[in-house]
Amino acid sequence: MTTSFQADIRPLFTERDIKGMMKGFNLASYDEVKAHAASIYDRIRGIGGAVMPPPPPRGEGPWPQSRIDLFAKWVADGCPP
């Protein structure tokens, strides 16, 4: 199954994630998540800086591996909308 931003990726980001990251880029925006996909994939694995999302109380904590794998699959699929 091919993934899509709307069905698979957008629902992974909470309101808190979106608000917290707005100063950098908009996690609710397909174009912006696509543009930053490589660095997002790094940061959800704790590569290149603090792991995202941050642990409580600032965020909901690192994603389980299954979500990280889903994000990787979406990138491998070519970031479909």
Applying CB under 6 A, the residues found at the interface with ligand HEM are: 13, 16-17, 20-21, 24, 36, 39-40, 43-44, 49, 52-54, 58-59
Residue with smaller CB distance to ligand HEM, 4 or 12: 12
Q: Give the integer Cα–Cα distance in Å for 31 and 62.
A: 23
Spatial contact of 55 and 61, defined as CB atoms under 8 Å apart: yes
**Minimum Å distance from CB 54 to ligand HEM?**
5
Residue 51 in tokens: 């792991």
**Minimum Å distance from CB 50 to ligand HEM?**
7
The number of beta carbons lying within 10 Å of the beta carbon of residue 28 is 15
